[in-house]
Structure 1
Amino acid sequence: MKTIFSLILLCSLSLNIYLDWQRPNSFLKSVFNDEFETVLVTHTKTNDTAKTSEKPPYQASFAPAKNHPAEQRFANGDLLGALSQWRTSTSHTQSTSTVHNWINKLKNALNSATSTALAEYLLFVQNYLSIVPNDFVALQFEAEIFVAQGERVEAIYRYIRLFQQYPEHAYLKEVITELISLELNELLEQSNWHELIEKGQIWLSEQPDNLVLIAHIAKAFLALENNLEAELLLTQLSKQQQQHQLIAPLLAELNSKHQQVETIPLVRHGEHYILQARIAGQQIDLMIDTGASITALTSTQFDLLAYDVNFLTARRVSTANGVVEIPFYQSTGIQIGSKQQTPFEFGVMTSSTQGPGLLGMNFLRHFKFEIDQQNAQLILKPRQ
């Protein structure tokens, strides 16, 4: 009888378990599923930890299965095919890790890669950046490819933009400075002053405190006898910066030029003499007029000035045609030979369009000067 009672209880329990299992919100199912998932997750994490510890430190944490189609294509050298396969078959979480793994492998081959391989690397990473445009690892790899290709200028632009976007990576500034130094030293060795100034000023607008850049540009200006631009560049620096080992010798050279006796070639113009001056970056013909208190340009000459000119006021002046009112402007400076004055005021003869302007005493009075008529030279000596 006891056996029959136990059998009835077992059957009743089995029936209840069966009926509960068939219910949509089965309590037993939830318990068994939770336990199963806990075991599965724990097991997976353990395996993942083991796999991660075996990886070199530069690799990302995700490593696709070796038989994955995208991995197979990458291993076979089909970079664009791998990228296409990756794009359609992986999640966004896995995407970055996968491509970063590939990029790290390609980085290791940069130094030994052929020009054809480098072109394929560049196409690969630029295709990836068209999908994920702000990926730091890919952007840096793109710049490194340009370096490997010998496209140093292009690499500099890439690194500057990368540093602007990710300023927290301070080491990028050192990379930029090193690449700029290499490029400018090469131009310096070639005495390619104009290209050095052109490139240097573009980069200086991005890195205004880069003393290596400033020193190279100033050297180029001094080599071209454009002392005014060199002085403007160097004197804007702080006292501490002016004592820097790259800057101090250039300031000494500039000061030495100021102390030198300068001879300026002249061209006879009737009883007068004409010389060339530089104002606001333009070569301007001026006629020496020791009777004029101010320097004056013709309206045609003034129209040539493109920058660094500010209107001051209108003043009444005496001319050969009587008293007239003319506008006055201020430039960053005037340079004649290696001599300059900064800043510099001049008037504009609005009624005069032809012929040279006039070089007046507002420049000449800063020097001991004489005109060597026999050799057609203006001699400028520093005032003690």
Structure 2
Amino acid sequence: MRSIINLILLCSLSLNIYLDWQRPNSFLQKVFSDDVETLLVTNTVASYTTETIEQPPTQSLLAQAQSNPAEQSFADGDLMEALAQWRTSTSHTQSISTIHNWINKLKNTLNSATSTALAEYLLFVQNYLAIVPNDFLALQFEAEIFVAQGERVEAIYRFIRLFQQYPEHEYLKKVITELISIELSELLEQNNWHELIEKGQLWLSEQPENLVLIAHIAKAYLALDNNLEAELLLTQLSKQQQQHQLIAPLLAELNSKHQQVETIPLVRHGEHYILQAKIAGQQIDLMIDTGASTTALTSAQFDLLGYGVSFLTSRRVSTANGVVEIPFYQSAGIQIGSKQQTPFEFGVMTSSTQGPGLLGMNFLRHFKFEIDQQNAQLILKPRQ
């Protein structure tokens, strides 16, 4: 009985569904159509999203780069405009890494860049350093631009200053040494001794252990027969440094000069002879006096002396006017011709302002000497 009732209900429901489907504005047709449309839209969005994700990002990034005015200006070669836009940008270009990327790209073109381009590079990096003054990469690039421009002296100065600021970058010492060696070698080839010494002494104050630098300066002194300065420079080195392949030949040359016979031109002054000596960087006229035990300068000559003079003591000495007390000083050395004595003591005749000083035996006794009166020469021979 229950089965018959269920069958009757099922038939009734089916009939009602059929009759509703046939009506205009059927409720069942509307519901069914909305479900299908929703399903189709959902599948379409999912398909589009999948395709979008799978597309490579190259075109998107390229468009982003083209829309970045700072990068576009740099790509166009307008460095100053790129820097100006970098400063005002609020995007990711407001980062140091962007500038570093630009600098690395410019570095790759240094060897082929024109002088105009190099000038633009320098202006660009110096304007950036005005904003970020301690940027190591930018400071190094600035020095490298000076090298590329042929401004080697300025480049050396920049690299020295950079190494002082960042001593952890040990390789900078090698860069500085190589640049100094090139610069001094050119001056050496030109026999430009005075400029070599001037520049070399400046750099030596910054790199006192640079043997290449010391060797070049010593060569210049020897070429100028300024053996005293060469000896002072070389003898301050350690024994190990003196055996270095650059230093040992210079010491041998210096020793050879010591062994040579030296003839010093003299000027007659009545029955006496006057020669020129160098003391404390000054040329001083001295009259040979074999009866004087020590060398003495006039007060006027003493006032001319430059560096390296220190007071020792006051002593009583015998003069033509009797026994007097005079001050004694010590200088780094005295040089006559190529011969020198280091260190060297001398007195100052405070009561004497005119005429030459006196060359005494504290210099002459170190040599076998004779005065060639006929040719007006002082002959100095090394003592064996």
Structural mapping, 1:172-211, within 5 Å? 172-211=172-211
Aligned to 2:253: 253
CA distance in 2 between partners of 1:93 and 1:165 (Å): 28
Question: Within 5 A, what are the aligned runs for 1:104-119?
Answer: 104-119=104-119
User: How far apart are residue 65 of structure 1 and its match?
Assistant: 3.5
The 2-side partners of 1:332 and 1:90 are apart by 64
SS of the residue 2:95 aligns to: helix
The letter of the residue matching 1:335 is Q
What's 1:168 paired with? 168
Report 1:258-273 matches (<5 A). 258-273=258-273
Backbone CA RMSD of aligned residues: 1.4
Q: Where does structure 2 lack aligned partners over 5 or more consecutive residues?
A: 1-56, 59-63
For residue 243 of structure 2, what is the amino acid of its counterpart? Q
Tell me the percent identity: 89
- Corresponding residue for residue 159 of structure 1: 159
Cα offset, 1:94, TM superposition: 4.4
Q: Distance in 1 between matches of 2:172 and 2:97?
A: 22
Amino acid across the alignment from 1:227: N
Question: Cα gap change, 1:92/1:132 in structure 2, threshold over 3 Å: closer, same or farther?
Answer: farther
SS of 1:112's equivalent?
coil
2:236 paired residue number: 236
Change (3 A) 1:267 1:91: farther
Q: How big is each residue's C-alpha offset from its partner over 1:233-278, in whole Å with a ceiling of 9 and x where there is no partner?
A: 0000000000000000000000001111111000000000000001
Matched residues in 1 for 2:359 and 2:78: separation?
Answer: 71
The match for 2:83 is 83
Matched residue SS, 2:250: helix
In 2, Cα distance between the equivalents of 1:307 and 1:92? 58
Aligned residues: 323
| Change over 3 Å in CA distance of 1:91–1:258 after alignment to 2 | farther
- TM-score w.r.t. the length of structure 1 is 0.82
- TM-score norm. by structure 2 comes to 0.82
Helix, strand or coil at the partner of 1:310: strand
| Matched AA of 2:114 | T
Q: 2:377 aligned with 1:383, yes or no? A: no
Map 1:288-367; keep pairs closer than 5 Å: 288-367=288-367
Instruction: Check 1:304–1:125 CA distance in 2 against 1; reply closer, same or farther (3 A cut).
Output: same
* Distance of 1:248 and 1:158 partners within structure 2: 31
- Per-residue CA distance 1:181-200 (angstroms, 9 max, x = gap): 00000000000000000000
Q: Which amino acid aligns with 2:221?
A: F
Are 1:296 and 1:360, in contact at CA under 8 Å, matched by a contact in 2?
yes
Measure the CA separation in 2 of the matches of 1:314 and 1:131.
Answer: 60
CA contact (8 A) 2:327 2:348 kept: yes
In the alignment, the residues of structure 1 paired with residue 107 and residue 132 of structure 2 have an alpha-carbon distance, to the nearest angstrom, of 19
**Conserved in 1, the CA contact under 8 Å of 2:87 and 2:94?**
no
Larger radius of gyration: 2
State whether residues 297 and 356 of structure 1, in contact with CA within 8 Å, keep that contact through their aligned partners in structure 2. Answer: yes
Deviation at 1:67, TM superposition (A): 2.4
Q: Are 1:128 and 2:128 matched, yes or no?
A: yes
User: Cα offset for 1:95?
Assistant: 2.2
In structure 2, relative to structure 1, the CA distance for the partners of 1:329 and 1:91 (3 Å cut) is farther
Structure 1 gaps, min length 5: 1-49, 52-63
TM-superposed CA distance for 1:323, in Å, is 1.1
Once the two structures are superposed, what CA deviation does each residue of 1:195-215 show, in whole Å capped at 9, x if it has no partner? 000000000000000000000
Structure 1 runs (4+) greater than 3 angstroms displaced: 90-94
1:206 aligns to what SS in structure 2? coil
Question: Is the Cα contact below 8 Å between 1:87 and 1:95 reproduced in 2?
Answer: no
Q: Distance in 2 between matches of 1:156 and 1:168?
A: 18
**Which amino acid is 1:210 matched to?**
N
Quote how far apart the aligned CAs of 1:90 are. Answer: 4.2
Q: Following the alignment from structure 1 to structure 2, what is the Cα–Cα distance between the partners of residues 304 and 246?
A: 35
Give the letter aligned to residue 258 of structure 2.
Answer: H
